[in-house]
Structure 1
Amino acid sequence: MSKTQERIDAAPNGPSVQGRVAGPVAPPRVSARRRRPGVIALSLALIAAGGAGVAVLLFQVGDRTDVVTVVRDVEVGQVLTARDLGRASVALDADVKAVRVDDLKSVVGKRAAVELKPGSLLAPSQVTKDALVKAGEQLVPIGLEPKQIPATALVPGQKVELVHVPAQGATDTGAGGGGGSGGAPRTVEGRVVKASGAAPGTGVVVVDVATAVADGPTAAAWEAAGTLRLVLAAPDGS
């Protein structure tokens, strides 16, 4: 036997290694993922809720009302003009009362029943066709110090009583007087037309009160003498 043949026979695997054909490789087994019905149901519920929310939002955006707005400062009693008013399209709550754009012409020429500020919606109750000081009335300005101002806000149209409080030891026989020192104090009926803000430093509030013509000078004399007090009347005026 030749040395070459001996080396071939001594090879570990011999010629059969070269003739071996590799078989197909099996793919790794992947276990199927377990389905979770609870997670699927929750996902569907969230999708449905999101769709409903979008639908409601689109409905609210589409359901808008054209209303009248205030674009300039308007004092109490001032006649409204077209320049004082604007318009806006808003999603209006059913409980909110606002003048519709279709009724804009009906409020032009009326008077502001309250002080109007830019950016606010105009409500029907904020305008009036009547003069704030009517025939047979006079306007009396009343200055109130901080301790004399009611905690309840004073608003136009509110009924009040102007009470004469004589100085200590004095009798009620001055201007507009007539009552004795032990009698009931004199009063004058009035109606708030406007109340200013508190003055810087002093805190004094000026209230314009409409009174009967016969009572105007009396109330003015009480105010000048510092013997006048303002009292809120009952809502029904009694």
Structure 2
Amino acid sequence: MWGGIGAVLVSAVGFTLIATELGGRTDVLVLARDVPAGHVLTAGDLRSVEVAAEAGVVSAADRARVLGRQARVPLVAGSLLAMGQIGERADFPPSGWSQVSLAVETGGAPPELARGERVAVLPGPSSDGGFAEKDAEGKAPAAVVGTVTGVKAPESASGVRVVTVLVETGAVRRAAAFEHPRIVVLPAVGREAP
């Protein structure tokens, strides 16, 4: 009986070692939470997982090399960390782009709005039911298209959410001038609506 249990145990250990070798799995660093560009990485920002990873991701053994360095771009919780995403300074926003923060009232954006979504920012209605701002032809201003880089929940049930959107620098003034901005989620680039 003991010989059978020993054989099973040896087989299980052997199988695990072979599966690990064949699977190419290694411990790598993953973001434990969302990290904005410019944030200095701390131990609480990272966790390690065992995955079959491609070259370029940071090994868990290199944790000490990345702690204390800045995120060059916004990093999303659950994503694998790559060396190109961290450095001595933030490279975000990229040249020609800017972030604009908007105070979005209740009902002005989908409740599940999240970082990374492609959106259109539209002017909301003014108190008289029209638009607070019109172009030279008397039409409502055009939407500003961008990508959500942050969503801060309201402090109260009737409060506003602060939504930060990455937009082309030339559109910042227009987006920031919308009195009661509305946010519409657009299909991801390359995907059509069902």
TM class by shorter-chain length?
0.5 to 0.7
Does residue 229 of structure 1 match 2:189?
no
Return the offset for 1:150. 2.5
Task: Please tell me whether the aligned partners of residues 132 and 193 of structure 1 are also in contact (alpha carbons under 8 angstroms).
Answer: no
Could you say which residue in structure 2 is the equivalent of 1:31? none
1:216 to 149, 172, 176: 172
TM-score using structure 2 length: 0.62
* Rounded Cα–Cα distance in structure 2 between residues aligned with 1:162 and 1:67: 38
Letter of the 1:165 counterpart: G
Q: Distance in 2 between matches of 1:128 and 1:176?
A: 43
**Structure with greater helix share of residues:** 1
Q: CA deviation at 1:112?
A: 4.1
1:187 aligns with 2:140: no
Tell me the equivalent position of 2:12. 53
Retained in 2: the 8 A contact 1:112–1:126? no
Q: Deviation at 1:109?
A: 5.0
Report the counterpart of residue 97 of structure 2 in structure 1.
137
1:206 paired to 2:162: yes
Determine which structure has greater relative contact order: mean sequence separation of CA pairs < 8 Å that are 6+ residues apart, divided by chain length. Answer: 2
**Greater percentage in strand:** 2
TM-score w.r.t. the length of structure 1 is 0.53
1:188 Cα deviation after fit: 1.0
Report the equivalent of 1:16: none
Q: 1:127 and 1:195, CA in 2 relative to 1: closer, same or farther beyond 3 A?
A: farther
Say which one has the larger Rg. Answer: 1
Structure 2: gaps (5+ residues): none
Does structure 1 conserve the Cα–Cα contact (< 8 Å) formed by 2:100 and 2:165? yes
Tell me the residue number matched to 1:164. Answer: 123
Distance 1:91 1:214 in 2: 41
Aligned-pair CA distance for 1:67: 3.5
Deviations 1:47-95 (A, max 9, x none): 6434422434566799874534669x884111546xx369x99672226
